[in-house]
Amino acid sequence: MAFETPAAVELRGLTKRFGSVIANDGVNLRIQPGTIHGVIGENGAGKSTAMKMLYGIFPPDAGEIIVNSKTCVWESPADAIAAGIGMVHQHFMLAGPYTALDNILLGAEPVRCGVIERKKARTRLEALARQYGLPVDWDSPIEELPVGVQQRVEILKLLYRDAKILILDEPTAVLTPQEANELFRNLKKLRDEGKTIILITHKLKEVMSFTDHVTVFRAGKVTGEMPTSQTNPQELANLMVGRKVVLNINVPPAHTRDELAMEVAALSLAGTVAGSRHKLSDVSFSVKRGEIVGVAGVEGNGQSELLQAILHPREPLCRTSGTVWFLGEDVTHWEARDIRDLGVAMIPEDRQREGLLLERPVSENFLLGLQRSSAFSQGGVLNSRNLLAAATQAEEEYDVRPRDLAIPAGKLSGGNQQKLIVAREFQRKPRLLIAAQPTRGVDVGAIEFIHNRIVRARDEGAGVLLVSFELEDILTLSDRILVMYEGRIAAEFARGQVSEGELGLKMAGS
């Protein structure tokens, strides 16, 4: 029966080059109307490129776009919008100081006598919001709305323009798990009302739970298309990466040493407003060498503050009281440089802001923090031959793609940026590794790789403090799990002592 209905969208032999790179190479894709269709692939596999062509952001070099049995040539997104296609971009297209209403109306304002009829638009939007269960405070400036509601505004923007085909680019990247669940409930409702939804993602779990069909991209080509019910995460992962991926790496038991890698005692950070709840209250724990301690928790429960307090204990903005020891030394009043010289490696939470100089070449980013080591500098002069040799070797070993030391780090995909940071930090042969969100925005192949590296660091005697919102990271890697809730350590478990469900409950504060 499904074969009888004409496709809502069909892409035939779509090809796009950027310079010498082929982003899309003869992409064929059929999307049935009234379904949720997952489009998955690693970072840089070409899935976003294909969708941007479908939405008219840039034209294909070759191939056809067919929407509702009509061949379409778009000049700009305006044409695609007119044909009933809408896109929610990964980075929201919303201007912070303006109201939700104005953000939705933009470009499609109902006008009478040259004046925007806000009342009319509002009535219509209120009806749409009721129909699809997407309540929004129309008059609030966007910047005052939570991210989940901002996304609702983006979806309403499409519905307001009568979009029949909704493209969502990595919609859960910015959402908490609760917000993500709500999003998917809404998407199912939209599908049941007859909309066609294209979900671009690299998260296998989302594809398996919420899509009807799935198309897999790898290196600019489609490597598989099937109903979701006839596949499994393992098969999808293999198609995405092009080899057999180990989804759950086998972590051997830890050989914990008695020596402490780090310890914090009674760490606190007062709230910024007098009388408000402490952002960190009385946090104490330790990490031994040869052990991975995972800190789990829902975003915003003090994990970022904990990391900042550990990394910058001198700063009064990061720590109001408490003590931090690294490798037996009281480092509470130390400079960052001296702390790093102890043998501390760090994968920062926000890799683009804290981990890399995006404008500078990969080679210089590899040097960051190592610039004083005798291997790379003599008498204040950089030894670029040593640097290039070491960086080349590291790129090879850590599979940073493309293998080009001269391109700016910002041009690498998210997963490769992360691998570059991991390569650099492991260059230090750390005795203590602080890894924050090590797999954020990273695809399955790279997750496996980074997990393996962290375990190897542990087995070579490093103590590892792992902070992650991804339960998968925590449950796979941690020898001990700490749960943070409202700035405190709310629970502690040993490996294997806790199920995902129980952990989720503790994270929610029960």
Partner 1 sequence: MSWDLLASTLRVSTPLIFAALGGMFSERSGVINIALEGLMLLGAFAAAVGTLVTHSPWLGSAFGMAAGVLLAAVYALFVIRLRANQIVAGTAINMLAMGLTPFICKILYDVTGSTPSIPLHERFHSVPLYLCWALVAACVLWMRYTPTGLWVSFAGEHPEALDAAGIRVNRVRWMAVLVSGALAGMGGASLSIFLSSSFSRDMTAGRGFMALAALIFGKWKPLPTALACLLFGFADAVQIRLQGVAVWGGHPIPVEFIQILPYLVTILVLAGFVGRSHPPKASGTVFEKG
Residues of the shown chain interacting with partner 1 in the complex, contacts defined by CB under 8 A: 52, 57-58, 76-78, 81, 87, 89, 91, 93-98, 102-103, 105-109, 111, 114-116
**DSSP helix/strand/coil, 44:** coil
Least separation in angstroms between CB 81 and partner 1: 5
Residue 331 region by backbone torsions, left for phi larger than 0, else alpha for psi between -120 and 50, else beta: alpha
Least separation in angstroms between CB 140 and partner 1: 16
Tokens, residue 267: 């760490």
Least separation in angstroms between CB 123 and partner 1: 18
CA dihedral 202, 206, 207, 211 (to 10 degrees): -140
Least separation in angstroms between CB 382 and partner 1: 31
Close Cβ partners of 21 (under 8 Å, ≥ 6 residues apart): none
Least separation in angstroms between CB 9 and partner 1: 19
Cα 155 to Cα 104: distance, rounded to the nearest angstrom: 9
Least separation in angstroms between CB 85 and partner 1: 11
R_g (Cα) of the chain, nearest Å: 25
**DSSP helix/strand/coil, 97:** coil
Rank residues 115 and 381 by Cβ distance to partner 1 and give the closer one: 115
Rank residues 113 and 381 by Cβ distance to partner 1 and give the closer one: 113
Report DSSP letters for 354-413, one per residue: II--TTSBHHHHHHTTTTTSTTTEETTEE-HHHHHHHHHHHHHHTT-SS--SSSBGGGS-
Cα 191 to Cα 165: distance, rounded to the nearest angstrom: 10
CA dihedral 289, 291, 300, 487 (to 10 degrees): -70
The CA-CA-CA angle for residues 337, 338, 343, to 5°, reads: 95
Tokens, residue 182: 């709500």
Least separation in angstroms between CB 58 and partner 1: 6
Rank residues 83 and 249 by Cβ distance to partner 1 and give the closer one: 83
Considering only CA atoms, which of 205, 169, 242, 203 is closest in space to residue 399? 242
Rank residues 76 and 248 by Cβ distance to partner 1 and give the closer one: 76
Whether the ω angle into residue 402 lies within 30 degrees of 0, i.e. cis, is yes
Residues 395, 397, 401, 404, CA torsion sign = positive
Least separation in angstroms between CB 149 and partner 1: 17
Least separation in angstroms between CB 115 and partner 1: 5
Least separation in angstroms between CB 113 and partner 1: 10
Rank residues 19 and 501 by Cβ distance to partner 1 and give the closer one: 19
Rank residues 111 and 273 by Cβ distance to partner 1 and give the closer one: 111
Rank residues 154 and 479 by Cβ distance to partner 1 and give the closer one: 154
Evaluate whether 362 touches 404 at the Cβ level (below 8 Å): yes
Rank residues 77 and 271 by Cβ distance to partner 1 and give the closer one: 77
Least separation in angstroms between CB 107 and partner 1: 3
Close Cβ partners of 110 (under 8 Å, ≥ 6 residues apart): 116, 117, 120, 121
β-pairing verdict for 463-467 and 480-485:
unpaired
Name the phi and psi angles at 446, rounded to 5. -70, -30
Rank residues 23 and 489 by Cβ distance to partner 1 and give the closer one: 23
Evaluate whether 278 touches 487 at the Cβ level (below 8 Å): yes
**DSSP helix/strand/coil, 336:** helix
Least separation in angstroms between CB 452 and partner 1: 36
Close Cβ partners of 72 (under 8 Å, ≥ 6 residues apart): 65, 66, 79, 80, 83
Rank residues 75 and 192 by Cβ distance to partner 1 and give the closer one: 75
Least separation in angstroms between CB 262 and partner 1: 39
Rank residues 102 and 206 by Cβ distance to partner 1 and give the closer one: 102
Rank residues 106 and 357 by Cβ distance to partner 1 and give the closer one: 106
Close Cβ partners of 90 (under 8 Å, ≥ 6 residues apart): 48, 169, 170, 171, 173
Rank residues 106 and 317 by Cβ distance to partner 1 and give the closer one: 106
Cα 119 to Cα 281: distance, rounded to the nearest angstrom: 48
Intra-chain end-to-end CA distance of the chain, in Å? 48
